[in-house]
Amino acid sequence: MKKVILITGSTDGIGKLAAIKLASDGHSIYLHGRSSEKLQTVIEEVKTQSGNQNINGFVADLSSFKAVKKMAIEIKETLTQLDILINNAGVFYGKKLTNENGLDLRFVVNYLSPYLLTKELLPLLKKSEEARIINLSSAAQSPVSFDALKGSTALSENATYAQSKLALTQWSFTLAQEEKDLVVIAVNPGSLLNTNMVKVAYGKFWSGADKGGNILYDLAVSEQYKDKSGIYFDNDQGRIGQAHTDAYNSELNYSLIQLTESILNNY
C-alpha cells in the first residue's frame, strides 16, 4: 500500500536520501525545507531520480514556532491523512544561538518544534491505519537541564545538542505510551555521518550518509517495525538499543512534557 509521507529537513543529507528511496517505491512524498527556492529544486531532483511525480513540499523555518504552526495549518489544508512523519530536521550550529523567543536553537529545532508539529498533525496521523512517527535522536544524549530548556541558562552547543536529543527520545517514549494506535520510534541514524551538519560541526565523518537514509527508509515502511512502538534504534549497532537511562524514568518524562507544554503555551 502506498503511503503519504512527510519528512522534515529533507532538502539535504539523510532526509533527502530517504525521500528519494521512499519516492522510488511510489509513495507520495512531502519534503520540507527552510528555503522555497532550494525546496523546489530538490522536489524536481527527487522526481527525476525516483521517476515519481507525487512529490511536493512545505516551507518553514523550524526555529520559529509561528512558522511551524503556519506550516501545520497548510499541511492540514492539503492532506486528508498522513501515514508517516519523519522528524528529521536538526541543527548543531547556527548563525544565532537562540530563536526569536530567546530559546536555545538546538532545543527549538531538535525537540520543541518537532513536538509542536507532531501534536498539530496527530489528527491526520490518526486517520491512517498504520501511522508511524520516526524521531531523529542521536548517540549524544545527556540529562536535560530544565533551566536551559526554558531559556534561563545558556549552555554550550555540545551540551544543548545532546540534551535536545535526549528530550526528543524521552518524548518519543511518552508519546508511544499515550498513543497506542501509533508506532513511535526514536533512532540514532549513525554517528558522524557524511552530512553538511556533521562536517560543519566536526570537520570529519565516520560513515556515508546512505547509512542514515537507509535506516529511515526501513523504520518508515518495513514490516519488521510495524509493531515496534516505543523503541530506540541504535544504528551504530544496527539494532534496537538502549537510550540514556533518563528516557525510562516516567516521572522525569512527565515533568519534561509538562514543562514543554508550558513553554509552547507561551508562544
Separation of alpha carbons 171 and 155, rounded Å: 21
pLDDT at residue 140 tops 50: yes
Q: Which positions are annotated as active-site residues?
A: 137, 161, 165
* Predicted local distance difference test score (pLDDT) of residue 249: 98
- Tell me which of 237 and 112 has the higher pLDDT: 112
Least confident of 66-75, 78-87, 139-148, 204-213: 204-213
Report, as an integer, the average pLDDT of 43-54. Answer: 97
* Predicted local distance difference test score (pLDDT) of residue 191: 57
Q: SS3 for 133?
A: strand
End-to-end CA distance of the chain: 39
Quickly state the pLDDT bin for 208 (edges 50, 70, 90).
Answer: low
Query: Could you tell me the domains of the chain?
Result: 4-265 (3.40.50.720)
- Which pLDDT tens digit goes with each residue over 118-135? 999 999 999 999 999 999
pLDDT at residue 240 tops 90: yes
* Predicted local distance difference test score (pLDDT) of residue 213: 87
Q: Are strands 84-87 and 55-59 parallel, antiparallel or unpaired?
A: unpaired
Q: How many CB atoms lie within 10 A of CB 122?
A: 17
